[in-house]
Amino acid sequence: MGAAVESERCDNSVKNERARERYARRRATDACTDCGGPAHGACRCPECAKRSCERFAHFKSIPAWEPSYAVIELDTGTEHGPFDTEAEAAASLVFAKLSLDEVEFVSDAPITARVAGWT
């Protein structure tokens, strides 16, 4: 290999400068900065954006866990539970001889799960 080629391989500044130029050229033409396809005003097309997001090591969604339930007596503050399902919590009312007017059902499901419709 020639000395010029070898020096370019060791010097990342040339590679970085070319990448910056390519990025600026693609952004100026509304092209995807990764693949050069149409990006419709964004810096990446939807396919490249999805691939980049999924590859990102720190990208994690909200963990989905099964909620637990508790029944709290309104008069005494006594807590019954935790229960794995709403049905088990409701069954505890029968054993404790309580009505729905005497208790409050509490769940540790995240509020965002209810808003977003997650299970």
- Is there a contact between 78 and 97 (Cβ–Cβ < 8 Å)? no
Q: CA 22 to CA 28: how far, in whole Å?
A: 10
In this structure, is residue 78 part of a structural domain?
yes
Q: Within this chain, do residues 19 and 45 fall inside the same structural domain, yes or no?
A: yes
Q: Do both 7 and 38 map to the same domain?
A: yes
User: Is 62 inside a domain boundary?
Assistant: no
Same domain, 48 and 75: no
In a shared domain, residues 80 and 111: yes
Tell me what pLDDT residue 77 has.
86
51-105 tens-digit pLDDT = 887 777 665 665 667 788 888 888 888 888 888 888 898 888 888 888 888 888 8
Residues 47 and 18 occupy one common structural domain: yes
Mapping DSSP to helix (H, G, I), strand (E, B) and coil, where does residue 18 land? helix
Provide mean pLDDT across the span 12-40. Answer: 87
Mean confidence (pLDDT) of the chain: 79
Max Cα separation, the chain?
89
- Mean pLDDT over residues 30-56, rounded? 83
Looking at residue 92, its amino acid is S
The confidence score (pLDDT) of residue 119 equals 47
Q: Is residue 64 part of a domain?
A: no
Number of domains the chain is built from = 2
Would you say 105 and 71 are in contact if contact means Cβ atoms under 8 Å apart?
A: yes
> Which residues, 6+ apart, have CB-to-CB distance to 49 below 8 Å?
42
pLDDT in the model for residue 92: 86
Domain that holds residue 108: 69-116
Instruction: Kindly state whether residue 36 falls inside one of the protein's structural domains.
Output: yes
Asked whether the whole model's pTM tops 0.75, one would answer no
Query: Looking at the domain assignment, is residue 61 inside a domain?
Result: no
Structure tokens, 17: 């400068």
Same domain, 79 and 108: yes
